[in-house]
Amino acid sequence: MAPGLSVASGLPYIGTRTAYGDATDMAETKHTKVLIIGSGPAGYTAAIYAARAMLEPVLIQGIQPGGQLTITSDVENWPGRTQIQGPELMMDIEEHARAMGTEILADLITDLDLSKRPFTAKGDTGTTYTADAVILATGAQARWLGLPSEERFKGFGVSACATCDGFFYRGKEVVVIGGGNTAVEEALFLTNFATKVTLIHRRDSLRAEKIMQDRLFRHHKVHVLWNHDVAEVLGTETPLGVTGVRARNVQTGETTDVPCDGFFVAIGHSPASELVKDQLELHNGGYVKVTPGTTHTSIPGVFAAGDLTDHVYRQAITSGGMGCMAALDAERWLAEQGEAEPD
């Protein structure tokens, strides 16, 4: 691998061609027994186990080194730590994977051919990766409402990451939409900056954990607008910016304009299965299907772990657990193929 591609990451990632280097300089083919795609808890944990099995794994980080936890603040449910910052936790796990012997590369897989072995993946750097086994750990991405006005103001008052953008709303009013853990966490985080946080939810109860709900309801800056969704984001053209949202009562259809400077969309995540959608069996709206109790996908030698395959639990610890399973499944499968012995 060309110098400069291995990343001491945890730093905010810049998903540009420059960050990966010039594709023409980097073009090469690299073979590995186990290619791990994704650098969240699932990918890094798979890497720790695969490296300790002497499989010399190569891990590709993608555009979000460290995965979803790098865009949150406090994590309070990672065993052994009553509280840790998401980015710090992911840097620790990355360092662990590296120390065990994983080759961690800053690249983005843009094409994956699972039709024949060795499997082939193309990186945005120009590198082609071939692998005897692949562990998919590409996680999930934020979902959006799909409104034209939401699109219009993205980056100009509309955000899906309070940790990233909350600071811009010091002394201002913000609206958050959603009723899950993410929405409640985002709303609470935004109280550090904003003077008022309105949480809009389409039902009359939240699905967030009760402890989070208690914190939310107790907070003097938080106001909840029940049984509403958002019909439109309101704003100005010059300068481009948000001035409010048009909330719609889901029962009566009546609309109310809620003034705000920032609008945070926190309505969940969709599995990042684009690379494999025409190659692997998917279910439940795009999640990679695995044989229950394992990480085996519909193609032998291809394993999936974490949020990419899990529409039920979607936690860091369950993703890590599945990453462990994927490495063990890959090791056993490779052994059956006579390919697990070190070169």
Contact set with ligand NAP (CB under 6 A): 77, 145, 177-183, 185, 202-203, 207, 229, 267-269, 314-315
Interaction between residue 188 and ligand FAD (CB under 6 A): no
Q: Using an 8 Å Cβ cutoff, are 67 and 21 in contact?
A: no
Interaction between residue 273 and ligand FAD (CB under 6 A): no
Q: Using an 8 Å Cβ cutoff, are 164 and 71 in contact?
A: yes
User: What does 294 interact with, of ligand FAD, ligand NAP, none (CB < 5 to 8 A by kind)?
Assistant: none
User: What does 40 interact with, of ligand FAD, ligand NAP, none (CB < 5 to 8 A by kind)?
Assistant: ligand FAD
DSSP, residue by residue, 208-246: S-HHHHHHHHH-TTEEEETTEEEEEEEEETTTTEEEEEE
Interaction between residue 63 and ligand FAD (CB under 6 A): yes
Does the active-site annotation cover 164?
yes
Q: Using an 8 Å Cβ cutoff, are 50 and 340 in contact?
A: no
**Residue 16 exposed, middle or buried by CB count within 10 Å (0-12, 13-18, 19+):** exposed
Cα dihedral sign, 88-89-90-91: positive
User: What does 150 interact with, of ligand NAP, ligand FAD, none (CB < 5 to 8 A by kind)?
Assistant: none
Exactly one of 9, 32, 39, 159 binds ligand FAD (CB under 6 A); that residue is: 39
User: What does 31 interact with, of ligand NAP, ligand FAD, none (CB < 5 to 8 A by kind)?
Assistant: none
Q: What is the distance in angstroms between the CA of the first residue and the CA of the last residue of the chain?
A: 18
Q: How far apart are CA 6 and CA 337, in angstroms?
A: 30
Strand partners, 224: 199
Exactly one of 197, 258, 276, 316 binds ligand FAD (CB under 6 A); that residue is: 316
Q: Token pair 């550090």 is at which residue?
A: 192
Distance of CA 180 to the CA centre of its chain: 16
Q: Token pair 């905010």 is at which residue?
A: 12
Q: Which is nearer to ligand FAD, 45 or 149 (CB)?
A: 45
Interaction between residue 120 and ligand FAD (CB under 6 A): no
Q: Count residues contacting ligand FAD (CB under 6 A)? A: 38
Does the active-site annotation cover 161?
yes
Q: Which residues are catalytic?
A: 161, 164-165
Binding site for ligand FAD (CB under 6 A): 37-43, 60-65, 67-69, 71-72, 75, 77, 108-109, 137-140, 182, 185, 272, 275, 306-308, 314-317, 319
